[in-house]
């Protein structure tokens, strides 16, 4: 097994499916999509709320379900800052909270316990909406920038076309310089600034396209749009929600009933 195969096998990206011909391997697209989505969510939290919030986000994902006191204990942050960032994550729908009730001891009332966890479908849907809004905003900004410099961009385009034709025909450099000088230095400076802004917008649109690709691939491997909406509806419904994760059951048995 090569080093790359070991790395991929350890991440669950490939599985061994046979021994013929020295070993046969098969890719696991669903696992690859899940890892790409985790990376995208981590990057989004990091960009919006900072690396401390990203640390809390990763901690909650690693623990599956965790109380607020445990977050403050393991995040290695001041309690006030940890609480503020946790509430920001909850407010921005990166994490969710699950109310549960502790078993009451003799002569005492039952105590409510709030477990923080990550509803991947809900978080991915929120990031998807953010990407769509950002794409719409960048399209509007790009169109406004092009309209603002439409005459200059048209002039420079015509000059470049003429210069290219002259060079193709092999005309003297003096004639080419005369045509290029029709664009004044202030116009060149304004053009350079406009092109830099448009280039940044294009680069940002490309990053959004990559994020949308990851989100749609994850959606296809996790059951589609209908499944995500079902999960969002379940996550936002008030009252008791059925426990679906074995780790959560284990946590309940050890920390709540115990």
On whether the CB atoms of residues 72 and 60 are closer than 8 A, the answer is no
Beta-carbon count within 10 A of 221 CB: 17
Q: Which residues contact 226 (CB under 8 A, 6 or more apart)?
A: none
Would you kindly state where each structural domain of the chain is located, as residue ranges? 30-118, 129-232
Phi first, then psi: give them for residue 115, nearest 5 degrees. Answer: -105, 125
Note the pLDDT of residue 23: 63
Beta bridge partners of 113: 100
Q: What is the third-level CATH fold of 30-118?
A: Arc Repressor Mutant, subunit A (1.10.10)
More confident residue, 10 or 121: 121
Tell me the CA distances in angstroms from 17 to 1, 8, 12, 14, 22, one per residue in order: 14, 14, 13, 9, 11
As a whole number, mean pLDDT of residues 28-47 equals 83
Q: What is the mean pLDDT of the chain?
A: 77
pLDDT digits (tens, 9 = 90+) for 51-92: 999 999 999 888 888 888 888 888 888 888 888 998 999 888
Q: What is the mean pLDDT of residues 5-20?
A: 57
Mean pLDDT in residue range 41-60: 90
Order of strands across the sheet with 112-117? Answer: 66-67, 112-117, 96-101
Asked whether the predicted pLDDT for residue 39 surpasses 80, the reply is yes
Give the HSE-up count for residue 68: Cα atoms under 13 Å, Cβ half-sphere: 19
Angle, helices 79-91 vs 51-63, to 10°: value is 80
Report which of residues 216 and 27 the model is more confident about: 216
Q: Which pLDDT score is estimated for 14?
A: 64
57 within 8 A of 42, measured Cβ to Cβ? yes
Q: pLDDT value at position 174?
A: 85
Q: CB within 8 A of 177, min separation 6: which ones?
A: none
Q: What is the pLDDT of residue 239?
A: 37
Residue of 21 and 97 predicted with greater confidence: 97
- Give the pTM: 0.67
The residue-averaged pLDDT of 122-133 equals: 89
**Residue 99 has what pLDDT?**
82
**pLDDT for 180:** 84
Q: Does 172 have pLDDT greater than 60? A: yes
- How far apart, in whole angstroms, are the C-alpha atoms of residue 149 and residue 139? 16
Better-scored residue on pLDDT, 156 or 104? 156
Lowest mean pLDDT among 120-124, 178-182, 199-203, 240-244: 240-244
pLDDT of residue 3: 44
């Amino acid at each position: 097994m090569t080093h790359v195969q070991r790395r991929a096998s350890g991440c669950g990206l490939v599985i061994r499916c046979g021994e013929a011909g020295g070993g046969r391997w098969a890719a696991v697209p669903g696992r690859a999509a899940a890892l790409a989505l985790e990376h995208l969510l981590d990057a989004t939290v990091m960009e919006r709320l900072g690396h401390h919030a990203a640390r809390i986000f990763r901690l909650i994902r690693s623990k599956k379900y965790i109380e607020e006191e445990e977050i403050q204990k393991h995040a290695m942050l001041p309690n006030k800052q940890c609480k503020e960032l946790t509430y920001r994550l909850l407010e921005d729908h990166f994490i969710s909270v699950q109310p549960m009730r502790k078993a009451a001891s003799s002569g005492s009332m039952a105590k409510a316990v709030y477990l923080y966890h990550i509803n991947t479908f809900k978080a991915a849907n929120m990031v998807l909406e953010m990407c769509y809004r950002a794409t719409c905003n960048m399209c509007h900004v790009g169109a406004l920038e092009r309209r603002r410099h439409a005459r200059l961009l048209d002039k420079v385009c015509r000059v470049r076309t003429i210069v290219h034709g002259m060079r193709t025909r092999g005309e003297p450099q003096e004639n080419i310089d005369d045509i290029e000088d029709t664009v004044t230095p202030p116009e060149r400076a304004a053009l350079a600034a406009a092109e830099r802004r448009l280039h940044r917008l294009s680069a940002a649109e490309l990053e959004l396209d990559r994020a949308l690709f990851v989100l749609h691939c994850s959606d296809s491997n996790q059951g589609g749009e209908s499944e995500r909406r079902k999960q969002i509806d379940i996550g936002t419904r008030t009252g008791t929600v059925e426990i679906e994760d074995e780790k959560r059951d284990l946590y309940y048995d050890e920390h709540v009933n115990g």
